[in-house]
Amino acid sequence: MSFENLGLHEPILRAVKAEGYETPTPIQLQAIPEVMRGRDLIGCAQTGTGKTAAFALPTLHRMTTVADGAAPPHTEPRPTHRVIRTLILSPTRELAAQIGESFATYGRYTRLKHTVIYGGVSQVPQVRALRSGVDTLIATPGRLIDLMGQRCVQLNHVEILILDEADRMLDMGFIDPLRRIVSQVPKQRQTLMFSATMPDEIRRLASEWLRDPARIEVRPTAAAADLVQQSVFHIEPKQKPLLLLDYLQNTASSRTLVFSRTKHGADKIVKHLVREGIPAAAIHGNKSQNNRQRVLQQFKSTRPPVLVATDVASRGLDIDEISHVINYDLPLDAETYVHRIGRTGRAGATGEAISFCGRDERSLLNSIERFIRRSIRVAQPREELRAALVAARQTSPPSSAKPAAGGRPKAAAQGSSVTAEGARRKFWKSKPRRHEKGSTAPTGGEKTGGKRPPRPGKSKRYFSKSKG
């Protein structure tokens, strides 16, 4: 079936054709007719399956169809000026920006307006866009709550509420802001909820916020991408930088995405690669929004750097032709692993997912293999690198000098200790002793009539005689 058979409005269909899309994906094929009929929907599909277009196309269709007519029967009459009719909530800034790009692409031949608001940047242009009037608002929960508190956003005319990556928003602690936002939206509305996973919390929220929803689950949650070749290197944590450098230097790739568990770790990886002559850039929550957008544009260019990211980028980033995904640190939960490797092997292309597993990460690897229901192939470093790793392990200095038998220190430690002791003796020999001629004050061990001289800024205090 083609997009023409779905009954989309002509301006939207023209935009889809201009993008070169002819056949809808499975989730689009199932979701678009249900949304066009005005039914609530909950959809579960892996990232990269076309979830954004699955709700963007029918939403634009409904808004375009009634744009010049009367309001839908379940809503109050719309005012003459533009009001927010569709609210889309997204967990991250990057995903919100990409949803905005999709609405701009598919709605280019319509008269509908949209805007995107998120934190990390000035709110002035966002407030200006809201005051000029928009039909669709795409927002992250944090910034939306801020603007609602400033009375810059009115949600009493919302007809369609869309929650994208709902499970991710719950993981990031947005449950209270979500409840506050949903309470400001009219109860008579159409609600769409899309999620990559379907935990119990999502099911409870769906029963609370959705009315008799259509349920769509395209693929099982734990199914890893079939076109992704997965492998794992068992290596000591301190040797991961050498392995990463060797792999990047000896592997042909178009775009490489490296995942680090922490922000500090991502910055350390970038510094190491740049020092070795490999262009690299980091993207994580501590980077400003302008910096993150600039890095993403560089990564999408014809000469992309190696992108090192935390899990802020493991979902929602719509970047084609990522040939390799490297898990420098294994994730703490298996579902995150599935979403990480889902960055490659998209649109029918093949990809590779490589994981570095340290000795302290074996349990994480076991849980991942149980989750995806397959064993990950164990890879071996190149012979040259293996010899270098063995040599580095043998020549690495001991972490601490342990005393030899009898409690005496080892030779190396003893030499350094003698040198330090000699320096101390030389220093103190150059100082006049307090009991010698030229000394200005007696020491505490000498007889001073039972009292010491007062310290500067202190009152005179008396002490008993020192026992020497």
> What is the model's pLDDT at position 151?
92
> What is the model's pLDDT at position 257?
93
> What is the model's pLDDT at position 453?
58
> H helices within 358-410, ranges in order?
362-372, 383-395
Instruction: Write the DSSP assignment of 314-368 as a string of letters.
Output: SSS---S---EEEESS--SSHHHHHHHHTTSS-TT--EEEEEEE-GGGHHHHHHH
Give whole-number Cα distances, 327 to 151, 275, 354, in Å: 43, 21, 6
> H helices within 37-84, ranges in order?
51-65
> What is the model's pLDDT at position 296?
85
> What is the model's pLDDT at position 154?
92
Q: Which domains does the chain have, with CATH numbers?
A: 3-217 (3.40.50.300), 228-395 (3.40.50.300)
Listed as ranges, residues in the chain with pLDDT below 50 are 68-75, 220-221, 399-420, 439, 441-448, 460, 462-464, 466-468
> What is the model's pLDDT at position 51?
86
Give whole-number Cα distances, 37 to 34, 41, 43, 63, 402, in Å: 5, 11, 16, 12, 76
> What is the model's pLDDT at position 412?
44
> What is the model's pLDDT at position 199?
77
CB 308 within 8 A of CB 258: yes
> What is the model's pLDDT at position 449?
52
> What is the model's pLDDT at position 416?
42
Express each pLDDT in 42-65 by its tens digit: 988 766 678 899 999 999 999 987
